[in-house]
Amino acid sequence: MRLLSSAVSAASAVALLAACNAANAEDEAIASAETAQPMPETLAAPTAAAVQTPQIIGLQGELTQGGFVRGTVPMNTVSARLGDTPLEIDENGNFFAAFDRDEGAQVFLHTVMADGGQVSTPVTVSPRSWQIERVNVAKRGGGTSEAWWKKREPEWNAIQGARAKETGANGWTQDFVWPVTGRISGRFGRQRIYRGEPGSYHSGIDIAPGNGVPFVAPADGVVVLARNGFSLEGNLIIIDHGAGLNSAFLHASRIVVEEGQSVKQGQHIGDVGASGRATGPHLHWSLKWHDARLDPLLFTGPMP
């Protein structure tokens, strides 16, 4: 992790993972479950991002698409937001914010002071190159049957409700660890173009260490969802890390935690499996900050 002072360039080039070459029907299923948006194909390679900020705010993190930032606001700050998203500020003035996979080149950090003064700090977000696969087949039509949605709707509502919960967890302050290590079978941001029509991008990272291998919490948090048998996700765990940040773990063969349970970084929470709509045993791990979809690799660094 790098410390960024005022007017200092941040966010070095991000190491990208080797992609799975096999066709993965799960991408569309996960996208349907999480309503991901397509990303234009042509993007420049990651470049250094610059942030201009008052000296009273310290920032550290990865200022790139799918990345994040932590910082401290002035003592007399009463509220802050990144773009239109309000920030949660702890008792020491610390905050967490993040950048969607489709984030634009610049976003503003707005702070409001006790005396009514306001400061808007421009943050430059570096673009990334995504793995784009062109296929000479028509994109499958969207839409679902009424019968299928009747089953899916309560699952969808449970997921949205879980992600909206505020537990006061402080895992967002930690350096994340890998929930499990193994072969990478799918990387964040991967996308297919169907005869010129973009499909949904892959919203997380897929790790395939083998069926039944235990996986752990990447950071402290509270389990806000732990359910078996979802249509797409299979056996699903969602952990709130606080400050609007949460992790989802899909396709487990076994869940060993309960909703409402506090977990520590490195604690066993489930076993890898192929439940739900999956082409083989693997763990799909995704991270969200409010509506922004994030790249887990930027939180952990390369797999050891």
- pLDDT per position as a tens digit, 135-172: 788 777 656 678 888 999 999 999 999 999 999 999 99
148 and 55 assigned to the same domain: no
Q: What digits encode the pLDDT tens for the residues 53-95?
A: 344 467 889 999 999 999 999 889 999 999 999 999 999 999 9
Q: Of 124, 154, 169, which residue constitutes the final position of a domain?
A: 124
40 has a pLDDT exceeding 50: no
Q: Are residues 219 and 77 in the same domain?
A: no
Residues 25 and 118 in one domain: no
pLDDT grade for 191, boundaries at 50, 70 and 90: confident
Q: Are residues 243 and 281 in the same domain?
A: yes
**pTM confidence score:** 0.80
> Taking CA 194 as the corner, what is the angle to CA 189 and CA 129, rounded to the nearest 5 degrees?
30
Q: How far apart are CA 55 and CA 67, in angstroms?
A: 22
- CB-based contact 248:217 (threshold 8 Å): no
| Res. 46 pLDDT band, cuts 50 70 90 | very low
What pLDDT does residue 239 have?
98
CATH of the domain at 99: 2.60.40
The percentage of the chain sitting over the pLDDT mark of 70, rounded to a whole number, equals 80
Q: Does residue 282 surpass a pLDDT of 80?
A: yes
User: Could you give the percent of the chain with pLDDT greater than 90?
Assistant: 67
Q: How many residues appear in the chain? A: 304
Inside any domain, residue 68? yes
| Amino acid letter, 1 | M
When the pLDDT of each residue in the chain is averaged and rounded to a whole number, the result is: 83
Q: Same domain for 183 and 141?
A: yes
Domain that holds residue 273: 21-42+130-300
Q: How many domains does the chain have?
A: 2
Q: Read off the CATH number of the domain in which 237 is found.
A: 2.70.70.10
Regarding whether 277 and 149 lie in a shared domain, the answer is yes
pLDDT band at 7 (very low <50, low <70, confident <90, very high): very low
Residue ending a domain, choose from 91, 124, 157: 124
Q: What is the mean pLDDT of residues 129-137?
A: 85
pLDDT at 15: 32
Confidence of residue 42 (pLDDT cuts 50, 70, 90): very low
Last residue of a domain, one of 70, 93, 124: 124
The two beta strands, 191-194 and 132-135, are: parallel
- Does residue 57 lie within any of the structural domains? yes
Residue 104 resides in a domain: yes
Other Cβ atoms within 10 Å of 221 Cβ, number: 28
Q: The tokens 């296929």 sit on which residue?
A: 135
Q: Is residue 196 part of a domain?
A: yes
* Same domain, residue pair 140 and 243: yes
